[in-house]
């Protein structure tokens, strides 16, 4: 649609626009169906964006330690981080002006108006973040190996009061996405089994991960988003290579998993509900792959 491969998206705080970020430092804000380009000041590939519900500020992260702050007037400034690792995920605290940024090789940072704090989170590639509602706890998904044959936790818990990340789950599944239901009772985690190369969907109650039946060889769930005020989670899939499956959007309602859209040429990288839950947006391209570095 816009002639560019995009990787991440997020709704504005008023649901009146949609941020899209992607390759070559591209940033768009789409309002009333019209895309407006925002000059990012970088040519690095951008991977994820999150919007602060209280003031509308957006944080964008990407390759080579890139982190950008976009204010309500769409002015862009750099967030200086002590890393050149590729950053993959960012999430604002649901009630505070504080965000968590994560990426490869255990890169994990807390950002607030007081500055940036570096958090020790091991050495594996961190893939997604979700803050548990009404808490100061965030959950971070990860690859299950830090390096070849070096096991890692695939799910971490971050406590903003102690500025510490702790391991809470291990296994042979690379977990790529996580999102908490609005009532804070249940999270959905998604990824793939690194041995059998099957897609994986699981639920997490704060203590343990339980698998959801999902048999799809070489098709991997990569992103998940709960619909606000409803028991529906949207799950998006991609593949490791073209021609072996379809990019699909599923709706899961804690009982059944139903495909609502599928395409054999486009593979998804992100999905998000508007804050009022009336609209669902997903970003896909012909070049999206599960293992994009």
pTM for this one? 0.96
Structural contact between residues 174 and 195, judged by C-beta atoms closer than 8 angstroms: no
pLDDT along the chain (293 residues), means of 10: 78 89 96 92 97 94 98 95 98 96 98 96 96 97 92 97 96 96 96 92 95 87 93 94 87 92 94 91 85 58
CATH 3.30.470.20 fits 1-80, yes or no: no
Surface-to-core class of residue 205, CB atoms within 10 Å of its CB (0-12 exposed, 13-18 middle, 19+ buried): exposed
Q: Are strands 187-193 and 233-239 parallel, antiparallel or unpaired?
A: unpaired
CA distance 143 to 201: 15
Residue 181's pLDDT is 96
Contacts of 114 (CB under 8 A, 6+ apart): none
Q: What residues does each domain of the chain span?
A: 1-80
The pLDDT value recorded for residue 120 is 96
What is the pLDDT, as a whole number, of residue 3?
52
Q: Is 23 helix (H, G, I), strand (E, B) or coil?
A: helix
- Please report the pLDDT score of residue 277 as a whole number: 81
| pLDDT the model gives residue 42 | 97
């Amino acid at each position: 649609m816009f002639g560019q491969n995009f990787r991440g998206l997020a709704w504005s705080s008023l649901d009146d626009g949609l941020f899209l970020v992607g390759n070559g430092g591209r940033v768009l804000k789409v309002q009333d169906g019209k895309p407006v380009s925002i000059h990012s000041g970088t040519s690095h590939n951008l991977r994820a964006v999150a919007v602060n519900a209280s003031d509308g500020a957006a944080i964008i992260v990407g390759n080579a330690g890139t982190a950008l702050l976009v204010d309500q007037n769409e002015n862009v400034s750099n967030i200086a981080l002590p890393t050149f690792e590729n950053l993959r995920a960012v999430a604002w605290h649901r009630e505070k002006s504080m965000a968590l940024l994560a990426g490869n090789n255990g890169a994990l940072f807390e950002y607030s108006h007081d500055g940036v704090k570096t958090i020790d989170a091991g050495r594996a590639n961190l893939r997604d973040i979700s803050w548990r509602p009404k808490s100061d706890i965030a959950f971070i998904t990860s690859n299950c190996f830090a390096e070849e044959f070096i096991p890692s936790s695939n799910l971490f818990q971050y406590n903003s009061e102690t500025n510490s990340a702790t391991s809470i789950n291990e296994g042979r599944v690379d977990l790529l996405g996580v999102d908490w239901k609005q009532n804070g009772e249940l999270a959905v985690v998604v990824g793939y089994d690194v041995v059998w190369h099957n897609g994986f969907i699981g639920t997490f109650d704060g203590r343990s991960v339980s698998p959801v039946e999902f048999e799809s060889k070489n098709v991997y769930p990569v992103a998940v988003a709960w619909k606000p005020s409803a028991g529906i989670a949207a799950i998006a899939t991609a593949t490791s290579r073209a021609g072996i499956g379809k990019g699909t959007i599923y709706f899961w309602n804690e009982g059944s998993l139903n495909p609502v859209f599928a395409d054999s040429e486009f593979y998804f990288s992100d999905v998000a509900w508007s804050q009022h839950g009336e609209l669902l947006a997903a970003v896909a391209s012909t070049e999206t792959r599960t293992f994009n570095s």
